[in-house]
Amino acid sequence: MNELPEVATLRLVWQQQYVTTSTGPPRLKTTQELSPAAVRVHSPYDPEARYSSKHPSEQPPGRPTEWVGSKVHLTESCDPDLPNLVTDVHTMPATEPDVTATTAIQDKLIARGLTPGEHLMDGGYPSAATITASAQRGITLLAPIVVQTGRNAGKGTFTPADFTINWAAGVATCPAGATSRSMKPDKRDLVTFAFSRRDCRPCPIRDRCTLAAEHIARRITVHPEPIHQARMAAHTAQHSDQWRKTYHARAGIEGTVSEAVRGPNLRHARYRGLAKTHLQNVVSAMAINISRLGTYFDTKPATQRRPTRIHQLCTTYTPAAA
């Protein structure tokens, strides 16, 4: 009986939620004592469901988004003069960040013979590694690239994009014209350029470069040359009018997600387990595709809906109509 999956799940839930004591009954663990959400069983009825949330800064103030379950990523075509069809459905645990889905989605599209020339994605999907991997596959990854990272991000200080790097010489030049004194790789497979205190202390624009103590010189840490150059090229391109015009097509997927939520009720799983939930998501995408293909091949003109009484009143008595 101890080997039954149901019993093993209950045992795991007990171990994750309670602490045994030598002086009294078990007690519930505090928030700090709980296991990470990625491994914590939230419901014994669905051991694969996970709790996740979006930081309040990503939503209107005071409205954090929280849910228990999984996460689904929809990919659709956006060819002109053709119906936008869902080409991939990727279901994953709710705690997995979006960036981990980028390569997996592209691998499935390539396997189906649907390799995109341009892949338009949200800002949570790109990274230096995925941009480079996409380029090696012949895919141009179009997504907002953020270069303001670290403790001083968002405080108006210079970012690594403001530094000029001569990879052949192993030297970085700051906006004030000073050159770095060393270039060293670190354990994270990144490259750090360190500047001299002799240059940083008297620098007239130091307050725009670093907020560290006066005796600490500026350092920048970037990816290796091919990844850094691909990332900077993508960051530069996103400020052009052509990039904005092309990226505007990505707004269509937001309408697709809304259609899947309002129609097949995508945000509510009818089944337990990630595999069955994925099947539900696939069937929902198929329903959307069938509906869109029906609309596309329907040669009958759409019947004009009779205007409502309130619509007639608004169009008749508005100042513009008068």
Domains of the chain, CATH where assigned? 5-56 (no CATH), 60-144+238-297 (3.30.420), 160-224 (no CATH)
Model confidence pTM above 0.75: yes
Most confident listed range (237-246, 283-292, 302-311): 283-292
Q: What is the pLDDT of residue 320?
A: 55
Which pLDDT does position 56 carry in this prediction?
Answer: 60
Find the mean pLDDT for residues 146-171: 79
Q: Is 268 exposed, middle or buried (0-12, 13-18, 19+ CB in 10 A)?
A: exposed
Q: Which of 221, 281, 219, 222 is nearest to 256 (CA)?
A: 281
Percent of the chain with pLDDT over 70: 93
Mean pLDDT, all residues of the chain: 88
Contact (Cβ atoms closer than 8 angstroms) between residue 137 and residue 105: no
Least reliable range by pLDDT among 62-66, 205-209, 263-267: 62-66
**Span 170-187, pLDDT tens digits:** 999 999 999 999 999 988
pLDDT tens digit string along 53-85? 877 654 456 677 888 999 999 999 998 889 999
Q: pLDDT-based confidence at 153, cuts 50/70/90?
A: low
pLDDT at 152: 60
Contact present, 25 and 31 (Cβ < 8 Å): no
- pLDDT the model gives residue 2: 78
Region 156-160: what's the mean pLDDT? Answer: 83
What is the tens place of the pLDDT at every residue in 267-293? 999 999 999 999 999 999 999 999 999
* 107: confidence class by pLDDT, cuts 50, 70, 90: very high
The helix-helix angle for 274-297 and 251-262 (nearest 10°) equals 110
Residues 239-245, mean pLDDT to the nearest whole number: 90
- CA–CA separation, 141 vs 189, rounded Å? 22
Q: What is the pLDDT of residue 53?
A: 86
